[in-house]
Structure 1
Amino acid sequence: MGQRDALLHEVSENLLDVLVVGGGATGAGAALDAASRGLTVALVEAGDLASGTSGKSSRLLHGGVRYLEQLRFGLVREALHERGLLHDLAPHLVRRLSFLYPLTHRMWERGYVGAGLALYDGLAGIGDRHGFRRHRHLSRRALLRAAPPLRPDAAVGALAYDDGQVDDARLVVTLARTAVREGATVLTRVRVTGLATRPGHTVATCEDVLSGERFAIRARRVVLATGPWSELTQRMLGVSPVRTRASKGVHLVVPKSRLPMSSALIARTASSVLFVIPAGDVVLVGTTDTPWEIGPGPVLPTGSDVRYLLDQANRWLREPLTGDDVVGVYAGLRPLVDAGSGSGDTQAVSREHVVREVAPGCFVVAGGKLTTYRVMARDAVSAAVRGLGARRSSTATLPLAGASGFAQAWARRDAAAVAAGVPVSVVERLALRYGSDYREVLTLGSGPLGGGTPGSLPGGPLEPIPGAPSLLGAEVLFMAAHEGALGVDDVLRRRSRAGLEARDGGAAAAPHVAALLATALGRDAAWEADQVGRYVAAARMTEEALAVDRDADLVPLLARLREAA
């Protein structure tokens, strides 16, 4: 905790060039962009990195096929360009994924959808070095070979095309690590409670959530990248010209053994788009797209959300899914810029972003989507730093943490596995999570761990955490030392997805993770117990939410969740 205290003191003592508020993809991207221009930068986040929208998406890097129908060609082209660019900047995080679009009409649909995908290919410049292939036409037999869980009579054929996949929360953590590498200060559990403009700078009144201590940060420019919280942060300045509308998106997590698919499925529904997406050892089933009227803060799924997604997925599946097949459920809010149409349909709201100076030296960036985080960040910082003499943005050519030397490190994975005494599959998983830095994780696992500490691992830090087979003890130590993990939830819900891939929500793993974090962070047994209690209580509240059918009925649970946090 000494290093964190020193950073808090440092940012409160000095006048910064840029303060970024918000630790999602856009905020972390803005901190990286500003720091790489040679500016003094701090990012503050009230919760954890990616604890809001950016950690609860469909985990896709895509242009948005459905936006072609809305004639938003510029948005699609921009997103497809960013998809390829991030493939270069973070090859360890980005993967190509084949999508299947099932056809239910024999003649016109194949031509109509095929024409759209041909345009998609053209906008992407398919055939370049990124490995994304042109769309393909499949017969019904070929579709069933590609996706055995589908009903034989569900479709007459399909079109297949490629898009990108990324673990959204790990992308955000990697962006934050890269920003720190470039000189930024990143502080989580720091809540901004007030903003006041002064001649030449803005004063942000802040609270350290962990200690309750209040302090101020002064910065020449402020970038507000607070997603669904955008209007609240603007009101601290006495304005709210950029209005947002929140749309709730819910995803189910199903074991891959239940849905053995290597390609993703995309299909229309009456009120959104159905995705069935393989993601490691699990498959994601999503998503909903419904207005969220409760306001910013925690968001929970309901039983009606789960039933809706099961019903939509089961239209296509040979063996219908039931609630017993679902091992996890998560919900997030999309912050959509409100253009004042008055329509209650969030699907019709633009996914484009806006950057606006809402008070002298204070800039809001809102809207957009995960795929275009870098453009949003670049545009926000470029607007904010005019007059500061900063360099131009270089993030289009700046590899993210773990990217440099990744190809060589991947080629040596067999030797690394032998040296560490672990299966090569473990090294491959680490490499796809940390890039070339997987070697540091293995180094942390080279010695005994915790000697008898509650939650220690009998076989050492390269053994999986009990209750979280996809997570090693050494990873928890790495997350605490290098990725800013300050609690059990940070580890199990974001830096890894172990808490979403176990039926108990990671409760069995929580004591072991808490013990490892206590060792790494210098915490005591009381802190361990408190962490476990909070984590288990939050998991139970998610279960309780699934007994509720309406978002409005979630209000008491959300109040308890805020209090527990």
Structure 2
Amino acid sequence: MPVQHDREFDPDRPADMGPLYRAEAWRRLGDETFDIVVIGGGVVGVGSALDAATRGLRVALVEARDIASGTSSRSSKMFHGGLRYLEQLEFGLVREALRERELSLSVLAPHLVKPLPFLYPLTHRYWERPYVAAGIFLYDTMGGAKSVPGQQHVTRSGALRAAPALKRTALIGGIRYHDTVVDDARHTLTVARTAANYGAVVRSSTQVTGFLREADRVSGVRVLDTESGETTEVRAHCVINAAGVWTDEVQALSKTRGQFRVRASKGVHIVVPRDRIVSETAIILRTSSSVLFVIPWETHWIIGTTDTDWNLDLAHPAATRADIDYILDRVNEVLVSPITHEDIEGVYAGLRPLLAGESEATSKLSREHAVAEVAPGLVSIAGGKYTTYRVMAADAVDATTDFIPTRVAPSITERVPLVGADGYFALINQCEHLGERYGLHPYRIRRLLNRYGSLIDDVLGHAADDPSLLRPLAAAPQYLRVEVVYAALNEAALHVEDILARRTRISIEYPDRGMNCVQEVADLVAPLLGWRPEQAEFEVRTYRERVEAEIASQRQPDDASADALRASAPEFRAEILEPVPVPD
């Protein structure tokens, strides 16, 4: 391997968040005083760290588990404006989201955010076409058709040519429009690495266990390294609570009353092989309570989502048989060839952090975000949607300015491309040449560019002294062995689950959920992360037990029984503490 583990941390490559960076980050957390400490490694948290760092502030971010381990790796994989929110008259939210979508598509993350054509099947004569067309026209004029085509009306025959999988009786015509798709976990990780590139200290497996105070003011946090059991205190002028669905739990640690409450809404998605649905376009379907997306995902389709209240384990929300049956029932209403349980290769459940309102229906709770000063030196942010993470982050940092002794510059992240974005468009045009250089098929190069952008040379550079790393994983051939190495040495992956569930999406893209390649992954990263044989064995065993528990939970009829099965599985980060107040 071309890696020297005895060298010092390289300050010229701060975005390489490997073992050396992690050790240096722990030292800095205990030694330095920061302007802001951000709690939470979801997209809003890492976005806040990036916003603060690019304003010239000293910022640290701590995450109890892995970057994007919660909601930010379990979305519908769309960076969208929220077409359905027009019907709820949330025009401001849609306009804001469309502006953010355009920024990411064209400037901030073109290597990660991709245009995606959609078909909206029409089912009612006379009134529905003008009604939906008016909504999509508004969507397009608000900014939805800048870098992508506007709406196109099609007859029933035209819709069926685009999506032969649909029953002829399931529609009378259709409207085509565009939105975007994104690998949410990879995007969140890239925001985190960009924040680190601009000086932020970003550290996972680092749990907040309490708050520091000076008089009546919050002055930092106590943290626990959930890998080693070490503790330290991190001093800061202000703390941002961006913990998503854990907002209320982190709030409890501060012993102050919050100004809003967060409710968790469970959304379940299923993943099926691409050949099970014949269509050249994504499909959006109306249901009685919401919408159902059928989204192309490389060699698969992602179908979802549900929208139900969740009051159980926040770390591992469980999909039930009822959730899966709901999705199958809805999608099979319109498909010529029904999807069965046997077709499903992946299932995942995520929790939306919704601002609690008076309505009992979670689908009607606000997707707007809220920022509040909870106590002097403590700001909380919650709500919102993935697409508007950058706006949410800027608002959170704006709310800290009264606590920071120096002048705070305005947000500039709309002009800060994420790492890997610079040069992406030129590299896409050079796939043939890059393929010749590395001995890889141009298709493979294009796929790597759409995951790493202009960092592709850094990724493939790890194979310079070991060409075997350019081989695919034996049981997950979409991914190269070098991507596993890169995840451990450059992308802050600490456990096999981090790699199989988030650095790659093997856990939802293969029928075995990664069980057949976990040993190969462990063998690759063990020497890089300094695992002893018993630790490597623990990683493999724990992953397999967690997958078995997850699959078993998906056969259960209700949330309580499914959650009990998921909770019985062992944890990788065994030192995770329950979020209870720690005495001062």
Q: Shared fold by TM > 0.5? A: yes
Q: State the match for 2:525 in structure 1.
A: 517
Q: State the match for 1:7 in structure 2.
A: 25
| Contact 2:156–2:174, Cα closer than 8 Å, also in 1 | yes
| Contact 1:410–1:436, Cα closer than 8 Å, also in 2 | no
Q: State the match for 2:158 in structure 1.
A: 142
Secondary structure of the corresponding residue to residue 560 of structure 2: helix
Does 2:132 match 1:113?
yes
Q: 1 CA distance for matches of 2:545 and 2:88? A: 43
Does 2:481 match 1:465?
no
Q: Runs of 4+ in structure 1 displaced over 4 angstroms?
A: 562-565
Q: State the match for 1:40 in structure 2.
A: 58
| Equivalent in 217, 226, 242 of residue 243 of structure 2 | 226
| Contact 1:276–1:286, Cα closer than 8 Å, also in 2 | yes
| Contact 1:468–1:498, Cα closer than 8 Å, also in 2 | yes
Q: 2 CA distance for matches of 1:185 and 1:467? A: 35
Q: 1 CA distance for matches of 2:493 and 2:33? A: 27
Q: 2 CA distance for matches of 1:101 and 1:40? A: 47
Q: How high is the TM-score relative to the length of structure 1?
A: 0.95
| Equivalent in 61, 66, 90 of residue 72 of structure 1 | 90
Q: State the match for 1:334 in structure 2.
A: 352
Residue pairs, 1:377-456, within 5 angstroms: 377-386=393-402, 387=404, 388-448=406-466
Secondary structure of the corresponding residue to residue 276 of structure 2: coil
- 201 and 431 in structure 1: CA distance in 2 versus 1, 3 angstrom threshold: same
Q: 2 CA distance for matches of 1:561 and 1:357? A: 38
Q: 2 CA distance for matches of 1:13 and 1:214? A: 13
| Contact 2:35–2:58, Cα closer than 8 Å, also in 1 | yes
Q: Displacement, 1:226?
A: 0.5
Q: Given residue 418 of structure 1, which amino acid in structure 2 is its aligned partner? A: E
Q: 2 CA distance for matches of 1:407 and 1:555? A: 44
Deviations along 1:70-91, one digit per CA (max 9) or x if unpaired, are: 1111111000000001112111
Q: 2 CA distance for matches of 1:197 and 1:240? A: 17
Q: Say which is worse superposed, 512-521 or 311-320, in terms of deviation.
A: 512-521
Secondary structure of the corresponding residue to residue 469 of structure 1: strand
Q: 1 CA distance for matches of 2:24 and 2:457? A: 28
Q: 2 CA distance for matches of 1:462 and 1:217? A: 41
Q: Displacement, 1:556?
A: 2.2
Q: 1 CA distance for matches of 2:481 and 2:70? A: 26
Q: Displacement, 1:181?
A: 0.5
Secondary structure of the corresponding residue to residue 530 of structure 1: helix
Q: Say which is worse superposed, 532-541 or 515-524, in terms of deviation.
A: 515-524
Does 2:366 match 1:350?
yes
Q: Displacement, 1:215?
A: 1.5
Higher relative contact order (CA 8 A, sep 6+): 2
Q: Displacement, 1:562?
A: 6.2
| Contact 2:317–2:563, Cα closer than 8 Å, also in 1 | no
Q: Displacement, 1:274?
A: 0.8
| Contact 2:83–2:139, Cα closer than 8 Å, also in 1 | yes
Q: Say which is worse superposed, 276-285 or 473-482, in terms of deviation.
A: 473-482
Q: 2 CA distance for matches of 1:8 and 1:225? A: 20
| Contact 2:156–2:172, Cα closer than 8 Å, also in 1 | yes
Secondary structure of the corresponding residue to residue 223 of structure 1: strand
Secondary structure of the corresponding residue to residue 306 of structure 1: helix
Q: Say which is worse superposed, 404-413 or 100-109, in terms of deviation.
A: 404-413
| Contact 2:553–2:566, Cα closer than 8 Å, also in 1 | no
Does 2:194 match 1:178?
yes
Does 2:203 match 1:195?
no
Q: 2 CA distance for matches of 1:517 and 1:206? A: 26
| Equivalent in 544, 549, 553 of residue 545 of structure 1 | 553
Structure 1 residues not aligned, in runs of 5+: 450-459
Q: Displacement, 1:2?
A: 4.8
Q: 2 CA distance for matches of 1:226 and 1:144? A: 44
Q: 2 CA distance for matches of 1:29 and 1:254? A: 31
Deviations along 1:296-344, one digit per CA (max 9) or x if unpaired, are: 33211011111110011101100000001000000000000113x1x22
Secondary structure of the corresponding residue to residue 212 of structure 1: coil
Secondary structure of the corresponding residue to residue 168 of structure 2: coil
Identity of aligned residues (%): 44
Secondary structure of the corresponding residue to residue 415 of structure 2: coil
Q: 2 CA distance for matches of 1:530 and 1:381? A: 40
| Contact 2:144–2:179, Cα closer than 8 Å, also in 1 | no
Q: How high is the TM-score relative to the length of structure 2?
A: 0.92
| Equivalent in 531, 535, 538 of residue 530 of structure 1 | 538
| Equivalent in 155, 165, 180 of residue 171 of structure 2 | 155
Q: State the match for 1:370 in structure 2.
A: 386
Deviations along 1:326-385, one digit per CA (max 9) or x if unpaired, are: 00000000000113x1x2200110100001110111111100010000000010011113
Q: State the match for 2:121 in structure 1.
A: 102
Q: Displacement, 1:153?
A: 1.4
Q: Displacement, 1:523?
A: 2.0
| Equivalent in 295, 315, 327 of residue 309 of structure 1 | 327
Secondary structure of the corresponding residue to residue 528 of structure 1: helix
Q: 1 CA distance for matches of 2:218 and 2:310? A: 35
Q: State the match for 2:577 in structure 1.
A: none
Q: State the match for 1:452 in structure 2.
A: none
| Equivalent in 111, 125, 141 of residue 92 of structure 1 | 111
Q: State the match for 1:457 in structure 2.
A: none
Structure 2 residues not aligned, in runs of 5+: 1-18, 574-584
Residue pairs, 1:118-129, within 5 angstroms: 118-124=137-143, 126=145, 128=146
